Amino acid sequence: MAAVNSLDELAEIFGDRLLTDSGSMRVFESDGVTALAARPRAVVLPQTEQEIVDAVRWCYRHDIPWVARGSGTSLSGGSVPVADGLVISVNRMNRCLRIDPDRRSAVVQPGMINARLARAAAEFGLHYAPDPSSMQVCTIGGNLAFNSGGAHCLKYGMTTNHILGCRVVLGDGEVVTLGGESLEGEGPDSLGLFCGSEGTMGIATEITVRLVPPPESHYCVLAGYLTIEQAGEAVASIIAAGLLPGAMEIMDAMAMRAAHEGVGAVYPAGCNAVLIVELDGSAEAVASSRGALDQLLQDSGVVALQVAGSAAERAAIWTGRKSVFSAVGRLSPDFIVQDGVVPRSRLGFALRRIGEISREAGIPVANVFHAGDGNLHPLIMYDGRIAGALHAAEEVAARIVRLCIELGGSITGEHGVGLEKRDFLPGMFDPASLDAMSRLRDQMDPKNLANRGKMFPSGEGEPTGLYGLHPLEKTGVISRF
């Protein structure tokens, strides 16, 4: 009861920004993977770094696990709280503290929305390159935690390539600085270690990001194909030819249907897949590459080709692509989004196998993905109101994860491991590597309070589904809706 009574300490610090009633905390119980949920002990809404320090030190004194949370757009269960733990929500720490156009950098708080940062940088003629599909709502702190990418990460890299430094509150409340404002770091890459650690090593309170000049010119084309395998093979041929587009994305027929119904996107009739390719850079560089790209597309079996003739047409193409995750909700009441990666050379084969897995299970799968780096995002549809439907969809998702491992890929490209895929890590890493990772995490957070239970295997064997019969579920750490 001591820890319960000690909520009075948090009340003195946060006042009405301490949430303890079930109604107010409901929204914090899950993230984008709504099949996993847990009720926290309380939620705090800090407005300063010191308040974060105070909350973390309170947890440290009372051995209470905690999770930092931004907008909750994680698609791996990464920001699901531990039952009876504390949620530290950083949404109110959402300011851009400064932009330095000469250094081409900005310092932001962790709750800063990605799209707002992009707009703020544009006022200085600069650009923040990472553009996850959820950029209108996701936060820079969350992007840092999961090393988010986006459609243009093929050429411009992931979040880790655009973070220069950050201030971090560690698991015991100590505040440290990782990196700085220089592009050239010194010593061990502690910042690179922190980026992508999914909140298991602390909370960033200030983040220094790199800004870049926007491309001078764009050439955006949408190519239609009779099969999704043809679109995948076209990607391999473009890369093999030495071209490096700013982005390459593939959508199958079901994803196109969702985008059409969701935002009115229009696609070529009779096509079962489309490939979006965008060249960008200087006007001279784009002009010299577009002829080669057009020829490669013609040779790849394309049956329809649309070239964006204006900024509005280009924006319409990208609006359709980035709407798919939300628009699939028009086709199915529930779905699981997967995030595996396969080598580009195996892309066509992987897509063919996903289609076979879908047909064998009798469960529809919509495919949309970052084709340039082989980052698949199959959306596995089900109706959670039907008994057993979620478990069957999880089995399909698990088969896709195993397929990615078998093809020499990864279980995640940008969504993270979280709760969803943690028990698949032994398929990618040997015991010695996993032990080294765990020991490093334990050094950063000896009490294992920061986002407890995420990323690392449970030690109880692989679950029968992706997170069906999950060990944490049995112990009450998570629960089902």
Q: What is the CATH number of the domain that holds 337?
A: 3.30.70.2740
Cα 22 to Cα 36, 38, 58: the distances in Å are 17, 11, 21
How many residues appear in the chain?
A: 481
Give the per-residue pLDDT at 184.
72
Q: Dihedral sign for Cα 293, 295, 300, 304, please.
A: positive
Residue 295 placed within a domain: yes
Give the per-residue pLDDT at 77.
93
Q: What are the φ and ψ backbone dihedral angles of 165, each rounded to 5 degrees?
A: -170, 170
Q: Dihedral sign for Cα 112, 315, 74, 177, please.
A: negative
Residue range of the domain that includes 118: 96-210
Coil, strand or helix at 179:
strand
Token pair listed for 162: 């655009």
Give the per-residue pLDDT at 186.
74
Say yes or no to pLDDT of 3 above 60: no
Say yes or no to pLDDT of 466 above 60: no
Say yes or no to pLDDT of 462 above 50: no
Largest CA distance in the chain: 71
Query: Considering its fold, how many domains does the chain have in total?
Result: 4
The residue type of 141 is G
* Same domain (yes/no): 378, 283: no
Using a pLDDT cut of 90, give the percent of the chain over it: 86
pLDDT 10s digits, 93-109: 999 999 999 999 999 99
Give the per-residue pLDDT at 187.
76
- Taking the C-alpha atoms of residue 337 and residue 190, their distance in angstroms, rounded to an integer, is 31
Q: What is the mean pLDDT of residues 42-67?
A: 98
Structural element, H or E, at residue 472: helix 471-474
Domain termination residue (choose one: 210, 227, 252): 210
CB atoms < 10 A from the CB of 64, how many? 22
Q: Chain-wide mean pLDDT for the chain?
A: 92
- Taking the C-alpha atoms of residue 77 and residue 417, their distance in angstroms, rounded to an integer, is 8
* Same domain (yes/no): 371, 449: yes
Residue 114 placed within a domain: yes
What pLDDT band is residue 290 in, cutting at 50, 70 and 90?
very high
Q: What is the DSSP letter of 450?
A: B
Tell which residue, 401, 376, 415, 403, has the closest CA to residue 466.
401
DSSP 318-359: HHHHHTHHHHGGGT-SEEEE---B--GGGHHHHHHHHHHHHH
Give the per-residue pLDDT at 401.
96
Say yes or no to pLDDT of 286 above 80: yes
Tell which residue, 452, 360, 333, 351, has the closest CA to residue 77.
452
CB atoms < 10 A from the CB of 279, how many? 24
Q: What is the mean pLDDT of residues 294-309?
A: 96
pTM above 0.95, yes or no: no
- Taking the C-alpha atoms of residue 253 and residue 227, their distance in angstroms, rounded to an integer, is 9
Give the per-residue pLDDT at 342.
95
Strand 175-179 and strand 42-44: the pairing is unpaired
Residue 479 placed within a domain: no
Q: Which residue, chain included where needed, has tokens 């490209």?
A: 413
Residue 317 placed within a domain: yes
Domain termination residue (choose one: 89, 112, 141): 89
What pLDDT band is residue 130 in, cutting at 50, 70 and 90?
very high
What pLDDT band is residue 133 in, cutting at 50, 70 and 90?
confident
* Same domain (yes/no): 459, 343: yes
* Same domain (yes/no): 111, 72: no
The CATH number of whichever domain residue 171 belongs to comes to: 3.30.465.10
Cβ 301 vs Cβ 225: under 8 Å = yes
Cβ 419 vs Cβ 453: under 8 Å = yes
- Taking the C-alpha atoms of residue 455 and residue 438, their distance in angstroms, rounded to an integer, is 10
Say yes or no to pLDDT of 470 above 70: no
* Same domain (yes/no): 12, 76: yes
Cβ 382 vs Cβ 363: under 8 Å = yes
Give the per-residue pLDDT at 372.
87
Say yes or no to pLDDT of 4 above 60: no
Coil, strand or helix at 276:
strand
- Taking the C-alpha atoms of residue 263 and residue 451, their distance in angstroms, rounded to an integer, is 36
Residue 236 placed within a domain: yes
Residue 152 placed within a domain: yes
Residue 480 placed within a domain: no
Residues sharing a CB contact under 8 Å with residue 425, sequence separation 6 or more, in sequence order: 411, 417, 434, 455, 456, 457
Domain termination residue (choose one: 89, 109, 133): 89
Cβ 402 vs Cβ 61: under 8 Å = no
- Taking the C-alpha atoms of residue 228 and residue 271, their distance in angstroms, rounded to an integer, is 9
Tell which residue, 95, 17, 28, has the closest CA to residue 52.
17
The CATH number of whichever domain residue 243 belongs to comes to: 3.30.70.2190
Coil, strand or helix at 462:
coil
Token pair listed for 428: 């990618």
- Taking the C-alpha atoms of residue 234 and residue 54, their distance in angstroms, rounded to an integer, is 54
Say yes or no to pLDDT of 138 above 60: yes
Tell which residue, 247, 427, 403, has the closest CA to residue 338.
403
Residue 266 placed within a domain: yes
Give the per-residue pLDDT at 478.
42
The CATH number of whichever domain residue 44 belongs to comes to: 3.30.43.10
Cβ 49 vs Cβ 444: under 8 Å = no
Strand 304-307 and strand 42-44: the pairing is unpaired
* Same domain (yes/no): 178, 277: no
Strand 66-69 and strand 86-89: the pairing is parallel
pLDDT: which is higher, 327 or 186: 327
pLDDT 10s digits, 425-446: 999 999 999 999 999 999 989 9
Using a pLDDT cut of 70, give the percent of the chain over it: 94
Q: What is the mean pLDDT of residues 50-73?
A: 97
* Same domain (yes/no): 357, 453: yes
Say yes or no to pLDDT of 178 above 90: yes
* Same domain (yes/no): 359, 468: yes
Specify which residues 223 forms β-bridges with. Answer: 275, 305
* Same domain (yes/no): 304, 341: no
* Same domain (yes/no): 39, 165: no
Give the per-residue pLDDT at 345.
86
* Same domain (yes/no): 281, 389: no
* Same domain (yes/no): 423, 399: yes
Strand 105-108 and strand 365-370: the pairing is unpaired
